[in-house]
Chains A and B, each alone.
Chain A
Amino acid sequence: MNAQAQGIRGAISGRWHVPAMLALVLIATSFYSYLLFHTLLELLTVLVAMAAFVVTWHTFPASRNHYLLLLGCGYFWVGALDLVHTLAYRGMNILPSVTTSNEPTQLWIAARYSEALLLLAAPLVIARPLHRSLSFALPAAVAIALFSLIMSGNFPDCFVEGKGLTPFKIYSEYLIIAILFGAMAQLWQRRAALDPRIVAGILLANAFTVGAELCFTQYASVFGPANLLGHIFKLFGFWMIYSVLVEFAFRHPQQAPAPDAPPYRPAPRAFWPLASAAVLVPLLIFCAVAWQGYQQTMRETQVDAQRSAEIFYRHARNVFQTHELIAERVSEHLRAMSWDEIEQSNGIRGYLKQITVDFPQAQAIWLADGSGRIRNASEPLPASPLSVADRDYFNALRARDRGTTIGQLVQGRVIKGWNFSTARRRESASGAFDGAVIVTIYENYFSDFWNRSAAEPGTVVALVRGDGQFLARAPRIEPNALAIPADAPLFQYPHTVEQGAYRTRSRTDGVDRFYVFRRLPRYDVLLLYGNSIDAALASWRAEMAVYAALFGSAALALLMLALATLRTQRQAEMQERNAILEAHVRERTAELRESEARFRAIASNSPDHLIVQDKELRYVYVMNPQLGLTEADMLGKTDRDFLSAEDAGKLEAVKRRVLKDAKPVQVQTFLRDRSGDLQWFEGTYVPRLGEDGQPDGLIGYFRNVTERKKTEAEIQRRTAELDAANKDLESFSYSVSHDLRAPLRSIDGFARMLEEDYSAKIDDEGKDALHRVRSAAQRMGELIDDLLKLSRLSRSDMYAEPVDLSALARSVAEDLKASDPGRNVIFDIPPRLEAHGDRRLLTVLLENLLGNAWKFTGRHAHARIELGALQKDGKPVYFVRDDGAGFDMTYVATLFAPFQRLHLAADFPGTGIGLATVRRIVQRHGGRVWAEAAVEQGATFYFTLEPESTVAAATAAQHI
């Protein structure tokens, strides 16, 4: 908490003069022009965002702070959206498709959403670092998606002219504020992983952004004090972010990484993704803008065509109405007059002339009788009679009962130039056809007016009769009498359709146009207006060329940025790799040095002999040269140079085999040294493989085993001696059994003889002495017998098999009971007790142990003798327990030695060989025997019949 507080104090105290000064200057500019203020401020924030991005991006290899990196990249895209927002701002007139305050407000909201989401998401990468290119790509995706939505018109409206902000906009600001609070909470939770100053700075930036958003919910116009304050807050927020990013990227790069940030791993080559993004992003934006512009242009072209067609339609309708009016008035004026009167009347020409002067729409007025001859006219007539009987309108009037008709475009016969006429039927009193009043108009009356009014290139205005013939057309075409083909789209419409629109490429002049037609009432005449799409698109194309250049430059710049980034990244990687490599080399060098030192130490102290020979068996390396040779004697030479021919041949044969088979060969050999003594060597020749995998030499390592060989010989000699000694021992015991017993027999026998033959001559004392002599002799005989038995146990062959100790014990117990049926002894023997051993020896063992137990319970009225087994370390420990005389544990150490007795022979008879026998048998099985006893409390003899665990055995071995 202390650190946090310090961080906040630090963040608040420093670096405020710059944004404060900037804010004051900007506010001053707002008095001159709010647009200028807005533009400068927004550009400043964009600049700050871009700078923050560049700094964090390039210092990332040093800082390794994923959190700051994501913030930097994110602000780059927020800045990009803000830039477009600025360009689209009302009054900037830079983006042609943007005419209202809606789009810039949408862009603003999009930028704020991006910023808020960025601040919310960024703390997540503290724990889970994001790849560097993803850090850039994810905010990019969000920004581009929002931008595309706005430019395609799919983003909700934010500002409606005359009404102000939409609810969507206002609630979005509140939502953004909520997200920002979430972002602050998120960051606070993870504050432990970041420098407190970073946390404080970002929190402060969040707070400023919240303030800005609160301001923007208030304003009704895009130019207003709330808007101004909001923008100032925004500048402060951006500045705070920038300060944090730059501060920690540059000044404290070593403090920037989070404590638990994983070690930096060089990013994989991201050139293609980055390059594609650099090209695709501007390309997509350009396409969206272009499509938008195109649609707009087309819409405008159509609207323009409709409007123009309406104007020209009204004009043409007026002209024809005037004609009709004139014809009607003239008809009325002349109703009472016959054709002859008309022809001869002097006033009529003046009357008609006056009308043509009053109405410029009527170029000339003609009066034709029923045969088509012109009887009078507003123009002076030629001397020869003039007939209109060939004109189509006259024939149409004569043929059909139609009041008015419009003739085709003709070259005048009296008045010069292209013209056409409106003709009105004159009828006799009976209603029969009686000539026509004809009002003629020059074609260029229309075309000149149209040319003046619709001067845009490619525009066409025309009057077309229902049969496709042009009455007038601007621009004019020669010959003027050309007709629109009957299969043209215009004639797809039925004659009853009053108006319509279509797009086609004109067959008259080959221009692609958008056409609108209006049908004149009561005449089958159409006003056709067409504006050239090419001409309309010309401005769009020009605009798009500018955009293309702009976005092309942007793509190029991004591409350069990507390249620069990759190069920086690669350099960082190279440096890192170099550092690792150098460290590795240092490590290896140290290892090598140590290894070399160790090798030297071993080499100089080791008796081992190491040689390396090349393919020609010349020595290239020698360690510990043997046989009294020195390195100088051997290096560069072969065995033949310093060994006897016999020894060299022997060695080289082996070495050639190693080279040929490429397999190691173990060698034991003797060589003669310089003084001619035999030296034994033992070791291995190993092929040394060259780069082609074939042996290009060999390595041999040897040990002089002469001493060992001598020792081995000595051991052999001693073993032989030992065998001989054993033989002697055997013959000794044989002698004992024969030769020691024979004198005893003599002693006993002759003592007996004395007793028998001379009893009269020997007194009682003498007899007692003789008795003692005999007893001693007999006892010695027993001792010799037991000794022999013991010696035989040691020598006899063993045959181990599964044995039921209980069965053996029962048999021994039976014998014991039979030997003294009077005794009250209970044998407690389990039904079955498995053991593995030599049946004969185990019988002897039980005879001794049970016999002892039997013997030492002899003084007790009741006795119990138990055979059983315990488990110790998974192995059985057998025991024989009695409740007899027992013994003092003080003397347990001597218990198992031959002839050792702990009781008087008078109390318990015996030679003291029984337990020695027991121990011998147990030892021969690899087991152990021990005893526990107390005087008059019985004794327990334990024994095992297999070796104890190897560890215990090893420990035992060490103690030995």
Chain B
Amino acid sequence: MTAGLILLVEDNADDEKLTLRALKKHNIANPIVVARDGQEAMDYLLDSSKQLPAVILLDLKLPKISGLEVLRQVRATARTQFVPVVILTSSNEDADLIAGYKGGCNSYIRKPVDFDQFVEAARTLGLYWLVLNEAPPVSC
């Protein structure tokens, strides 16, 4: 079995780079696929030739299709319904939290401004979802 794939849905290039760096910093060598908007993410996820990610790191504020919509579609699609989704966003608005959990996200993490904290969050994330967490079976 190949190492778990991470799908990073992030439109901000800075954030993408910082996220990747934070992950790398902790030697998380798992393959990372980056989708720059919701549509791209969905295209990837709905393409059955592609490997299903072990975890989706999902920003909420995305061009074209919003993060919440992506979450809804992920949960609505049989193929992706069990894929763990971690919302990784700047917002800690109650409304967003509620919408996220209602949509069936598995975790909600607010991106800290402090990069050190961000790195720590990324490490914890990777350790948890990629190592500790048992991913659902590929086909079920």
Residues of A at the B interface (CB closer than 8 Å) are 734, 737-739, 741-746, 748-753, 774, 777-778, 780-781, 785, 788, 792
Contacts and interface: CB of A to CB of B under 8 A. Distances in A.
A777 B91 contact: no
A745 B18 contact: yes
Interface of B: 12, 14-15, 18, 21, 60-61, 89-94, 111-116, 118
B15 A746 contact: yes
Contacts of A785: 92
Contacts of B114: 748, 774, 778, 781
Nearest to B19: A749
Given A750-B14, A781-B113, A745 B90 contact: yes
Contact of B14 (A749, A774, A778, A781): A749
A792 B92 CA distance: 11
B14 A741 contact: no
B55 to A, nearest CB: 21
A777 B114 CA distance: 8
Given A738-B61, A745-B15, A746-B15, A752 B91 contact: no
Contact of B111 (A734, A741, A777, A780): A741
Contacts of B112: 745, 781
Contacts of A739: 61, 90
Given A737-B90, A781-B113, A742 B21 contact: no
A745 B92 contact: no
A753 to B, nearest CB: 7
Nearest to A748: B115
Contacts of A741: 90, 111, 113
* Max count, chain A CB within 10 A of own CB: residue among B15, B114, B116: B114
Contacts of B91: 734, 737-738
Contacts of A788: 92-93
Given A745-B14, A746-B15, A738 B90 contact: yes
* Max count, chain B CB within 10 A of own CB: residue among A744, A748, A750: A748
Nearest to A796: B94
A742 B93 contact: no
Given A734-B93, A737-B91, A737-B93, A742 B12 contact: yes
5 A-B pairs with least C-beta separation: A781-B113, A746-B14, A749-B18, A752-B115, A749-B115
Contacts of A753: 18, 21, 115
Contacts of A746: 12, 14-15, 18
B90 A748 contact: no
Nearest to B89: A738
15 contacts: A734-B91, A737-B91, A738-B60, A738-B61, A738-B90, A741-B90, A741-B113, A742-B12, A742-B14, A745-B115, A745-B118, A748-B115, A750-B18, A777-B113, A781-B114
Contact of A774 (B12, B61, B111, B115): B115
Nearest to B95: A734
A778 B117 CA distance: 11
Given A737-B90, A737-B91, A737-B93, A745 B21 contact: no
B21 A792 contact: no
Contacts of B21: 749, 753
A792 B91 CA distance: 13
A743 B91 CA distance: 14
Contacts of B94: 792
Nearest to B60: A738
Contacts of B118: 745, 749
Majority-rule SS of A interface residues: helix
B90 to A, nearest CB: 4
A796 B54 CA distance: 37
Given A745-B115, A774-B114, 15 more contacts: A734-B91, A738-B61, A741-B111, A743-B14, A745-B14, A745-B15, A745-B18, A745-B90, A745-B111, A746-B15, A749-B14, A749-B21, A752-B115, A778-B113, A781-B112
A778 B116 CA distance: 11
A785 B18 CA distance: 21
Contacts of B113: 741, 744-745, 748, 777-778, 780-781
Contacts of A737: 90-93
Nearest to B14: A746
A397 to B, nearest CB: 167
Nearest to B119: A752
Contacts of B60: 738
Nearest to B21: A753
Nearest to A746: B14
B112 to A, nearest CB: 8
A744 B92 CA distance: 16
B12 to A, nearest CB: 6
B75 to A, nearest CB: 23
A197 B103 CA distance: 113
Contacts of A792: 93-94
B99 to A, nearest CB: 12
Contacts of B18: 745-746, 749-750, 753
Contact of A742 (B90, B92, B116): B90
Contacts of A774: 114-115
A734 B112 CA distance: 16
Nearest to B11: A742
Nearest to B12: A742
* Max count, chain B CB within 10 A of own CB: residue among A742, A778, A780: A742
B125 to A, nearest CB: 16
A382 B61 CA distance: 193
A737 B118 CA distance: 17
Contacts of A751: 115
Nearest to A785: B92
A743 B116 CA distance: 16
Contacts of B93: 734, 737, 788, 792
A675 B21 CA distance: 77
A632 B111 CA distance: 81
A339 to B, nearest CB: 182
Nearest to A779: B113
A738 B113 CA distance: 11
A750 to B, nearest CB: 7
A586 B140 CA distance: 107
A551 B114 CA distance: 134
Nearest to A738: B90
Nearest to B94: A792
A927 to B, nearest CB: 25
B29 to A, nearest CB: 19
A749 to B, nearest CB: 4
A774 to B, nearest CB: 7
A741 B59 CA distance: 13
A170 B80 CA distance: 144
A737 B93 CA distance: 8
Contacts of A738: 60-61, 89-91
B137 to A, nearest CB: 35
B69 to A, nearest CB: 16
Contacts of B89: 738
Nearest to A755: B115
A752 B14 CA distance: 13
B95 to A, nearest CB: 9
A356 to B, nearest CB: 172
Given A738-B89, A738-B91, A742-B12, A752 B116 contact: yes
A743 B18 CA distance: 12
A331 B21 CA distance: 205
Contacts of B116: 752
Nearest to A775: B114
B133 to A, nearest CB: 26
B37 to A, nearest CB: 15
